[in-house]
Amino acid sequence: MRPTGDGSLTYGRGAYAAQHGVRSVLGMRVLVTGGAGFIGAHIVTALTERGHDVVVLDALLPSAHPGRRPPLMPDAELLVGDVRDTDVVRAALRGVDAVCHQAAMVGLGKDFADAPAYVGCNDLGTAVLLAAMAEAGVRRCVLAGSMVVYGEGRYTCPRDGIVRPGPREVADLEAGRFEPHCPVCGAPLVPGLVGEDAPADPRNVYASTKLAQEHLTAAWARSTGGRAVSLRYHNVYGPGMPRDTPYAGVASFFRSALARGEAPRVFEDGAQRRDFVHVRDVAAANAVVLEAVGDRPGGSFVAYNTGSGEPHTIGEMARALATAHGGPRPVVTGEYRLGDVRHITADSARLRSEWGWRTRVGFAEGMAEFARAEQRASAALPQRA
């Protein structure tokens, strides 16, 4: 997939296979919900490069597609419609063997007033889709999950071992005390990698809806004998990321600022740890898992962390982007957002060992590319991607 001068995207059959060395696997007709969005469009490319027949269902909301202009998708059939519309979903599922469910309202949002929109888009939309899949006999699904279901990451206290700190206090944030402390003894904590067996602890509305999507998908698999996987994405970035919206990820915020000639504004002290994973690697994970999930026992559901395995701080990311773009230098503001977690980096070894997936775009290479890449035009409204 290549960005064009006007921000639209074109698709070609050679690039993915050449970069990833994949073998074309023929035979499936795959529905990709939200397939015209940022991550979804890259998944469409990955699937078509592997020889699959792809149908895209996307509402083309103005927040992600100004003017509702249909994107150029010569290798896929595009259906414009809402995943919450049963009749539309039934039509999209005709002849489909598997579903890659990407349609969702993303990001932390602005405040709790966004809750009905998040629940409607993410949870109601998922329920309508799964019910239609049960009716149509489609028994293979890969869900766009998220690492936000964990809340804070894994922490170790020198005295009390592995602990789970609660939400940070406003008074601490106001005073610039950003690091969580041991809930038992109050000592400083050492952040580490969280595994899939960690208990879920969603800290905001978006996180709650992503966990609900997993529960719904697991219930669908048990009820129908289906096979489902949730890929818990980390901080996905790369070409085609939307710009100028409060619902985008932090990498998009910084890239948008640089495009305007402004310094990226880094919240807290910039030492928050995240895992930045390139969108082409995430697309590859979806393609690999979608092909292999049929080998799982009927009625199964499993979640996998999907990250690069290389934690970096928000400050590091901002500096890397600014350097590659040619400035301005980031500004550390000390500001904070309630609902943000301090550190969340997860161990993706299980996905690598069980499915043979590997990331191929390193942090420095990916940030240098993203600093020069076109972004997707968008309005400052809730988006589904």
Is 148 in contact with 118 (CB distance < 8 Å)? no
Residue 284 structure tokens: 């590859």
Is 276 in contact with 366 (CB distance < 8 Å)? yes
Q: Which residues contact 219 (CB under 8 A, 6 or more apart)?
A: none
Helix (H, G, I), strand (E, B) or coil at 158: coil
Task: Give the residue numbers marked as catalytic.
Answer: 206
* b/e per residue 167-206 (b: at least 16 CB within 10 A): ebeeeebeeeebbbbbeeeeeebebbbbebebeebbbbbb
Characterise 33 by phi-psi region: left (phi > 0), alpha (psi -120 to 50), beta (else): beta
Q: Please work out, in degrees rounded to the nearest 5, the angle formed at the alpha carbon of residue 370 by the alpha carbons of 364 and 373.
A: 145
- Residue 74's nearest CA partner among 141, 140, 8 is 8
Angle between helices 314-325 and 363-372 (to 10 degrees): 50
